[in-house]
């Protein structure tokens, strides 16, 4: 039986995952080839699903609710807390910088013909606007999150439906083994929803047994959307796919549906930016006991400053944030999972069993992704 909180919980998982990353996926797929991309997104999507379930079990076993940093301190000690802090900062700052970059591109595409301005100015504007929401801790109620996800779905499926008539199958048959690992980081960035787990558990606190189902459903829907979206965009634009994917579509669709896509893309970015910003602020506030104002400044102004100082390459940001920090965070979650089983405060609403072979395989894949990204 599906209740409204279950639907809202699934929406939070999808809304957190489907952010800036979706717009970079067609570009990275154009470099390696669609079928290599397909292989990676299925494998990495499955790995991230298991990690989400592991992390959720850790939080359900723990009395004092916190974030990854707090859990590492509790179960692994202060030294691992520092490691988790570094990984978390790079990952979440990377997410926020990516949102600033792509948000500026979208706003510029919509408003520059009316008001002028540059992508840089629009990026500053959207960063400051959403940072104000983080400052006062505006939490999107689950109904609004659900509506945003629904509208984004309608827009994306509008692109998929209309675009399917323009797809050239030959664009999906290219293959470049020299770029085989190129999509790795961007995919891992896009399928991540770790920061949504605490919010999901808050929404479903009266029915925790269904949290597992909500995580699985949200992850599967997200992967299906990505595959369809990338297949259509790449099928239309081929090797001419732009980094943010939508610009090239305007030549086939006209500006109407593309502009609508930009608008709801901004909403998707805004909701993800807001959730990540609040999570980061609360990490400094709760786990490091800084003042609320200092926590907000570290959460929101630091990534903005990094952007201003010159880190503005969208694909580089999501690739590094996805592969390097996603890989380390995944390994930390695996270690926490086993520690919490022995040292946890509660018996959780659900438990998962993961074979040692699967765990070792997950770690190998994550490490290979980190090594490749560092070398690349």
Tell me what the mean pLDDT of segment 64-81 comes to. Answer: 84
């580089």: which residue's tokens? Answer: 316
What topology is assigned to 11-375 in CATH? Amino acid/polyamine transporter I (1.20.1740)
Q: Which DSSP string corresponds to 309-373?
A: TT---HHHHHHHIIIIIHHHHHHHHHHHHHHHHHH-SS--S------HHHHHHHHHHHHHHHHHH
Q: Residue 276 gets which letter from DSSP?
A: H
- pLDDT 10s digits, 161-189: 888 888 889 999 988 888 888 888 889 88
Closest CA to 101 of 310, 352, 255, 337: 310
- pLDDT 10s digits, 247-303: 767 666 666 667 777 887 787 778 778 878 887 888 888 778 889 899 999 999 999
Closest CA to 198 of 144, 271, 276: 276
Give CA separation, 113 vs 104, 110, 352, in Å. Answer: 14, 7, 53
Q: Is the pLDDT of residue 141 over 60?
A: no
- pLDDT 10s digits, 1-22: 567 888 888 888 887 787 778 8
Neighbouring C-beta atoms of residue 260, cutoff 10 Å: 16
Q: Residue 194 gets which letter from DSSP?
A: G
Q: How confident is the model at residue 97 (pLDDT cuts 50, 70, 90)?
A: very high
Q: How confident is the model at residue 101 (pLDDT cuts 50, 70, 90)?
A: very high
Domain ranges of the chain: 11-375
- pLDDT 10s digits, 218-239: 999 999 999 999 999 999 888 8
Q: What's the confidence (pLDDT) of residue 226?
A: 93
């Amino acid at each position: 039986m599906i209740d409204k909180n279950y639907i809202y919980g699934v929406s939070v998982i999808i809304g957190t995952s489907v952010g800036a990353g979706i717009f970079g996926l067609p570009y990275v797929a154009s470099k390696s080839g669609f079928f290599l991309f397909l292989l990676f997104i299925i494998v990495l999507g499955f790995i991230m699903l298991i990690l989400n379930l592991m992390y959720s079990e850790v939080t359900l076993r723990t009395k004092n609710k916190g974030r990854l940093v707090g859990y590492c301190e509790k179960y692994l000690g202060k030294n691992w807390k520092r490691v988790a802090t570094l990984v978390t900062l790079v990952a979440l700052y990377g997410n926020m910088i990516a949102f600033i970059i792509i948000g500026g591109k979208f706003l510029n595409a919509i408003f520059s013909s009316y008001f002028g301005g540059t992508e840089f100015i629009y990026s500053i504007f959207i960063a400051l606007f959403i940072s104000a929401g983080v400052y006062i801790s505006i939490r999107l109620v689950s109904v609004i999150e659900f509506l945003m996800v629904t509208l984004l779905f309608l827009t994306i499926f509008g692109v998929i439906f209309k675009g399917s008539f323009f797809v050239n199958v030959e664009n999906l048959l290219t293959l470049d083994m020299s770029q085989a690992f190129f999509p790795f980081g961007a995919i891992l960035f896009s399928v991540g929803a770790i920061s949504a787990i605490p919010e999901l558990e808050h929404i479903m606190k009266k029915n925790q047994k269904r949290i597992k189902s909500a995580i699985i459903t949200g992850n599967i829907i997200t992967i299906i959307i990505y595959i369809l979206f990338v297949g259509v965009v790449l099928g239309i634009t081929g090797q001419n796919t732009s980094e943010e994917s939508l610009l090239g579509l305007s030549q086939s669709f006209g500006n109407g549906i593309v502009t609508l896509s930009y608008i709801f893309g901004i909403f998707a970015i805004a909701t993800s930016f807001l959730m990540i910003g609040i999570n980061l602020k609360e990490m400094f506030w709760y786990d490091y006991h800084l003042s609320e104002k200092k926590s907000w400044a570290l959460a929101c102004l630091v990534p903005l400053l990094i952007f201003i100082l010159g880190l503005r390459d969208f694909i580089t940001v999501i690739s590094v944030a996805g592969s390097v920090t996603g890989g380390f965070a995944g390994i930390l979650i695996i270690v926490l999972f086993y520690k919490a089983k022995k040292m946890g405060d509660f018996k959780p609403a659900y438990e998962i069993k993961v074979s040692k072979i699967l765990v070792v395989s997950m770690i190998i894949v994550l490490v290979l992704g980190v090594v490749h990204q560092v070398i690349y």
